[in-house]
Structure 1
């Protein structure tokens, strides 16, 4: 055992693992290499208080489960997490961060928001300004490139991945078997998918009526609906914008990708044109569709939790989306933790973010909370829960594909506005109110003006 630069003690990695996962999370982040100012992490007499703004979908889980675990390591940092509805989170974060006396030390930002927050000049450069407070074994290179890039803007690392996600393909193996088809593999191509789709529209109980379909996903007008079309485009080597932020999707590749998305409706449940997140999820969980293109984070509630699904873990597969002309498909969705540069407690804020995104913190969060990791080393471990094993494999495949094909929403301070234009115009095409060519041309013209 040896004393660290913080005045606390660390033990050998072998001893830590022998003591169990909680001990790992509680001790190893205190490795040598970090140098904090005196009392920056608080004392028993004068604890430091930090406040975080986060999505209400997981804020309470963190407050209830994560904060007590963090306080085993840093007992003198008091953490309050305020949950805000997703639709209000970016606006509230920006309003607070740009004020003269911000309430929040930490901002938890969705995948496309870091450029807007960084451009407002409110974030800490974590690799530069927090370098002295960073443990020597934090290992930035261990992160998969795709999730780490969500926290970067203009060559500066403003955020670290804390809750990772990917758009993936879910499969109901029982319905494939019923149709006489082999369960899909990550090598499945879009051409093969459509060749099988007609057989997957079937009558499973013999009453003469179709009661199961091939697919469900986002079709309605929603900010996330274009991610389906975009992932198909990316898997064929296409891109939304060029290096000068000019649209590059209003071409043959873009039209073909959007038509592929539209063609899924032929094999989807009746009325699927109005389906989004909730509707497609319900259809899959009730065993009505053989495949679903959806965010991987719903896997536990879809394959494991009997209170939310009729399916069993052995019935549900998860993998990358079908292979295009260049690669398989996946679409990145990362929640990154960033620090307000006006915070008076930046060192304590980084202690929390560093602990949560460390190798040991990721392992703890994955096993204790089921949160998806971003590190290569975490994904190479054997998780405690059996249901996480196929998820880890799919995540690593997805990160590789997303990184290679830059499969994420627009990276620009006006990314939300761009996404809304794409949602409006692709929805017109999906609903049959415009041809794919017309919709994409209109979207390109609007986006070019928006980014000019």
Structure 2
């Protein structure tokens, strides 16, 4: 599909204006290139458990397998049909390209849909829709929600932290923030079934189907450092600086 839409769709052939099949967030941050990788790794490996995806029973790296190589090969193939510069793209660049009709589709968070029908920032008002990620062995998505909270073991005042979480997790407040256009996604299930919210944002019903097959980050203290390292190797593979297998083996 991405290949089909990557072409000169203008009325003046050769004018240098090109339409691309997909927008990608391949910046070397795990929330970006790592999310693309995790989604595909889960789909091809057939598991939504982050510990099973990335580690074996002895907590040794296990992402450098056939599924990992397949995930990277698809990521590199998609890069052919994306605008120049996507290796440094984050959320804003990918979203804006989609809003300005420079790309046919993108993989992103539901907050993109909150502004897509706002004519002040989007040229695609009422000309877009959402769909779950394509299925591999299973259907999967990754990093599906843009807001989450935790109380660490060394928090100075756990009770105060809990009160702060309850304040922001208040149902009415979460609905208001979602409607505000601030780009924050609901962090509770209930808003995705709220009848009034769905009247204005009906696509959230489909988004919820993707969240149900979401792959969270592994819950372990080493996660930020481990995945920051992995992201650099993912970039090297997509850029062709390393083979897919070598990049994953070296990361492991």
TM-score normalized with structure 2 length: 0.82
- From the two aligned structures, give the one with the greater strand fraction: 1
Question: Structure 2 residue aligned with 1:389, among 199, 202, 212?
Answer: 202
How has the CA–CA distance of structure 1 residues 323 and 199 changed in structure 2, closer, same or farther, with 3 Å as cutoff?
Answer: same
Question: Structure 2 residue aligned with 1:375, among 167, 183, 188?
Answer: 188
Tell me which residue corresponds to 2:72: 258
**Larger deviation: 361-370 or 274-283?**
361-370
Query: CA offset at residue 324 of structure 1?
Result: 1.5
Tell me which residue corresponds to 2:2: 197
Unaligned runs of 5+ in 1: 1-195, 445-452
Tell me which residue corresponds to 1:42: none
**Alpha-carbon separation, structure 2, partners of 1:367 and 1:216:** 25
Question: Structure 2 residue aligned with 1:231, among 36, 39, 58?
Answer: 39
Say which one has the larger Rg.
1
Query: CA offset at residue 274 of structure 1?
Result: 4.1
3-state DSSP class of the match of 1:429? helix
1:307 aligns with 2:120: yes
Structure number with higher relative contact order (C-alpha < 8 Å, ≥ 6 residues apart): 2
- Matching of residues 250-399 of structure 1 within 5 Å: 250-301=64-115, 303-312=116-125, 314-333=126-145, 334-336=147-149, 338=151, 342-343=156-157, 346=159, 350-367=162-179, 371-384=184-197, 386-390=199-203, 392-399=204-211
Is contact 1:286–1:310 with CA below 8 Å preserved after alignment? Answer: yes
Question: Structure 2 residue aligned with 1:249, among 52, 59, 63?
Answer: 63
Question: Structure 1 residue aligned with 2:23, among 180, 193, 216?
Answer: 216
Q: Deviations over 1:357-376 (max 9, x none)?
A: 24444444434566432433
Q: Deviations over 1:229-276 (max 9, x none)?
A: 111111221512234422111111110011111110121123434433
How has the CA–CA distance of structure 1 residues 381 and 266 changed in structure 2, closer, same or farther, with 3 Å as cutoff?
Answer: same
Unaligned runs of 5+ in 2: 48-52
**Alpha-carbon separation, structure 2, partners of 1:434 and 1:341:** 41
How has the CA–CA distance of structure 1 residues 433 and 380 changed in structure 2, closer, same or farther, with 3 Å as cutoff?
Answer: same
3-state DSSP class of the match of 2:11? coil
**Larger deviation: 368-377 or 220-229?**
368-377
TM-score normalized with structure 1 length: 0.48
Tell me which residue corresponds to 1:429: 237
